[in-house]
Amino acid sequence: MTSAEALSEAFNMFEGSPTKFAGAIGGDVKRQNVEHWISSGRVPPAQRAGVERATGARVTVESLSDDGVHWVRVPDKGWPGKSGRPAMDVAKVAA
C-alpha cells in the first residue's frame, strides 16, 4: 500500500469529510490541511502520529511514510494499537 492509499483509507474512515477528519486529528489541523493532503497524497511527518491516533492505529505512521521517514516505537499503553506510540527517528532521517 502506498502512502496515498493509506491516506485515502484513513480519510474514508471519516465519511470522506475533511472537517470530520481534521476534527478527529485535532490540534491545529484544519479542513484545508486535510484537503491539501488529499490532493497531494501526502501527510506531513509531524501530523502522521495524529492520523494514526485518529484511526485507532488502523492506519499507521509507517504506512503513511513512503518518503524515507523512519519511525521507532515507544512503549505507551495509552496509545491505540499494540506497538506503542510512534516517534520520528530524527538521526535516521538525517543520515
What digits encode the pLDDT tens for the residues 6-23? 999 999 999 999 999 999
Q: Higher model confidence: residue 93 or residue 24?
A: 24
What digits encode the pLDDT tens for the residues 23-68? 999 999 999 999 999 999 999 999 999 999 999 999 999 999 999 9
pTM here is 0.93
Inter-CA distances, 24 with 2, 29, 43, Å: 22, 9, 15
C-alpha grid cell, residue 26: 485535532
pLDDT of 95 > 70? The answer is no
Please report the pLDDT score of residue 93 as a whole number.
55
